[in-house]
Amino acid sequence: METSNLVQRGNNLQVTCYKRSSFEVSPEFLISGCTTFQVKVLEVKMQSSQTAKCHILVRFFKNCPKDNNTYSITLSSRKLSIAEKSFLSDDGTWHLIKESDQILAFDISVVMDTVHISSFEALYDDTELADFELRGEDGSVKVHKAVLAASSHVLKRMLSGSWRETKEGHVDVPGTSAQTLQHFKDYIYLRKLPNTGLEQVLLLASYYMIPQLEQKCVNKLVNSLTAQKTCDLLEFAMKHKVNRLILAILEWVQNRGVEVKDMRSFFSSCTDNNCEELP
C-alpha cells in the first residue's frame, strides 16, 4: 500500500493511504516505540452483482508481550466519515472500520493514550482483608469490594448502595460455576485470561459491563476459530445476544479467517444443534 503525508509526533499519527489493487497492506507504523498500527484494504466481490465492496481494516497491538500497560487509540478519518472511533491494544486482530464502494485514497488520524489500570496483584491471595464473596452454583470466591468497584461501574453501584447483597457480604451468580468466578477474579486482579471457559467469562463481563474484558474474550475466542467451531460459537452468541461476539465472528468469516466452503459441510450436518443449512 502506498502512503503519503505521513506525520508522526509522539503519540500522534497522520497518514494518507492509497489503494492500487484488490488487496493492500500498509507498512507497520510504530507509535511512541511501544505499539504498532497498520491498515489493510480488502476488495470483496459481491455474488449478487458484478460490483465489489471495499473493506478497510486496522489493527493495533503492543510490541512487547511483557509490557503490562494497556494502550488505546482514537481513530478519525474525514474521507471515511469516522469520528473518534476507539480501540484497545490487543493481540493483533484486524478490525473492520469501513465497508464502502470503491475508495482510491483515504486519510487516517490516530491518537494513542495509555489506559491507566490500578494493579491489584498484591491483594490476589489476601484473605484477611477480603470482605465480599462471589457465589456460584458449586462454590464461592473471596474478593475485595474495592477491587470489584474499581473494575465495574455496575458492581460499584451495587456495592455502594443499600442492596441486599451489600449488607449480606455476598452476591449469588446463578448459572455460573466457581471455576468461572475464579477466572473472573484472575482477570480483575491479574489481567489474566484462561485458555478454556471463555464463553462464560464473556457473559459475566457483558452482565457487569466490563467492555475491556468483553473484547479480550471475544478476540481470544475468534482467533481460535475453526470451521467446526464457528457454528457452535455463533449459536452461543445469538442465544445470549452477545452482539460484540456476533459481529466479530461475521468479520472473521468475511475476512476469510474461516472459509465459507470449509464451513458449508459442517453447517449442513449440524441441524440437531439448531443450525440452519447454508443455501
Q: Where are the domains of the chain?
A: 2-115, 121-209, 225-273
Give yes or no for a contact between 275 and 264, defined as CB atoms under 8 angstroms apart: no
Q: Give pTM, 2 decimals.
A: 0.60
Q: pLDDT averaged over the chain? A: 85
Amino acid 59: pLDDT: 92
Instruction: Using pLDDT thresholds of 50, 70 and 90, give the confidence band for residue 204.
Output: very high
Instruction: State whether the Cα torsion 230-236-240-245 is positive or negative.
Output: negative
C-alpha cell at 105: 485514497
Over range 70-88, report the average pLDDT.
Answer: 89
254 has a pLDDT exceeding 80: no
The top-level CATH class assigned to 121-209 is: alpha beta
Instruction: Using pLDDT thresholds of 50, 70 and 90, give the confidence band for residue 131.
Output: very high
Over range 113-118, report the average pLDDT.
Answer: 69
Q: What are phi and psi of 159, to 5 degrees?
A: -75, -25
How far from chain centre, in Å, is Cα 65?
17
Contacts of 161 (CB under 8 A, 6+ apart): none
Q: Which residue type is seen at 197? A: G
Amino acid 264: pLDDT: 67
The gap between the terminal CA atoms of the chain, to the nearest Å, is 36
Which of the residue ranges 14-18, 77-81, 159-163 would you say has the lowest mean pLDDT? 159-163
Q: Cα(244)–Cα(23) distance, rounded to whole angstroms?
A: 26
274 has a pLDDT exceeding 60: no
Instruction: Using pLDDT thresholds of 50, 70 and 90, give the confidence band for residue 99.
Output: confident
Over range 85-101, report the average pLDDT.
Answer: 83
Interior angle at CA 234, CA 230 and CA 237, nearest 5: 145
12, 13, 275: which is closest to 3 by C-alpha?
Answer: 13
Beta pairing partners, 64: none
The top-level CATH class assigned to 2-115 is: mainly beta
78 has a pLDDT exceeding 90: yes
Over range 1-7, report the average pLDDT.
Answer: 93
14 exposure class (CB count in 10 Å sphere: 0-12, 13-18, 19+): middle
Over range 186-198, report the average pLDDT.
Answer: 91
111 has a pLDDT exceeding 80: yes
279 has a pLDDT exceeding 60: no
Amino acid 113: pLDDT: 87
